Amino acid sequence: MNGLWTLAAVGISFGVTALLGKWMIPFLHKLHFGQTIRDEGPRWHKKKQGTPTMGGLMFITGMVLAILICVPLYYAAESSETLLMRAKIFGGLVMAAAYGAIGFFDDYIKVVKKRNLGLTAPQKLILQFVAAAAYFGTLFLAGEDTVTVIPFAGSVDLGPAYWVLAVLALVGMVNAVNFTDGIDGLNGSVTFFFGLFGVILAGMLRMQGLGIVAAALAGGCLGFLLWNFNPAKVFMGDTGSLFLGGMVCALAFGMDLPVLLLPMGIVYLCEIGSVVLQVLYFKATHGKRLFKMSPIHHHFELCGWSESKICLVFSLVTAVGGVLSVLAVLFGL
């Protein structure tokens, strides 16, 4: 029966997200919530000017509904879950929603107030750190300790430093996922595979509640891709990408395996890493560039790769990272 709730979460999340596209995309068009394409990007992206954004609301609705329906029903039928695990699931969902709200305000300022950069960087970072601190504060009150598990090395107690490192890691990863949203279908396809392997890992660790969360994540991304594959009919906006970042982190920290963000989130890390390296190299060399453009998916675009090819390759890289994570848990715990 355990698999029934996982399948139900996939179906609800996918179905709601996919069906919402039929209504929400015309609605966003009607409101003139179109994406403004920045001049700094690849010149051919200008043809995407006016494509509806804030479409992340579609899969946020689908994922939240799937989790709020399937997790309580699973608990009622088959499980008496600990307070801590409930806090990880529902606290993680609230944390992801908080990041989605930050993204929504950012998108709203861009498309309604016509300020292309949205919230300022300090404003976004302050709100993101508050959301992360509130999430980990909730876990602390629910009984979370400062022990993290590292495959092949065992459990490591970091003491109070754990909370500081955890907040920094969460904020960094959420922004890494945000940087991955730059071409049609990329963030959705990469995060689909993250969710898929999250289901497998949760099953291996006997964390069925988190497996339902991972299934909802995978299903929502797949439903959104029906509308977001090249050529995209809608963009997720920061509303969607920041929410996905929160969900990714909720799964990793919920399993007490944030270290798996390294292999499973390798694409996200390469995206944000390329931005950091580009800036540092540009300043150090007084104007030279390490990549043709960052984040790194734009570099491959300028090398002649199609958006579909980038999505395929980056998704396969994520899948390889997922397989390595499964092997690490299987043989290293």
Chunked mean pLDDT (size 10), the chain, 333 residues: 86 98 91 65 62 94 98 83 92 98 92 71 95 98 93 90 97 98 95 98 94 98 96 94 98 95 97 96 93 94 95 98 96 82
Residue 72 is predicted with a pLDDT of 93
Provide the pLDDT for residue 114: 64
For residue 188, give every residue at least 6 positions away whose Cβ sits within 8 Å of its Cβ, in sequence order, or none.
Answer: 221, 222, 224, 225, 228, 236
Look at residues 35, 108, 107, 97 and name the one whose alpha carbon lies nearest to residue 63. Answer: 97
Given this model, what pLDDT does residue 288 score? 92
Global pTM value: 0.95
Cα separations (Å) of 115 from 7, 56, 98, 119, 243?
42, 20, 22, 9, 22
Residue with tokens 């490192």: 165
Model pLDDT, residue 174: 98
- Predicted pLDDT of residue 97: 98
**Cβ-based burial of 186 (10 A; exposed 0-12, middle 13-18, buried ≥19):** buried
Phi, psi of 43 (to 5 degrees): -60, -30
Could you tell me how many residues make up the chain?
Answer: 333
Output the pLDDT for position 3: 81
Phi, psi (deg, nearest 5) at residue 217:
-65, -45
Amino acid 77: pLDDT: 80
Residue written as token pair 């964390």: 207
Q: Cis (ω within 30 of 0) for the bond into 231?
A: yes
Question: What is the phi/psi pair of residue 148, to 5°?
Answer: -125, 150
pLDDT of 275 reads 96
Mean predicted lDDT score pLDDT of the chain: 92
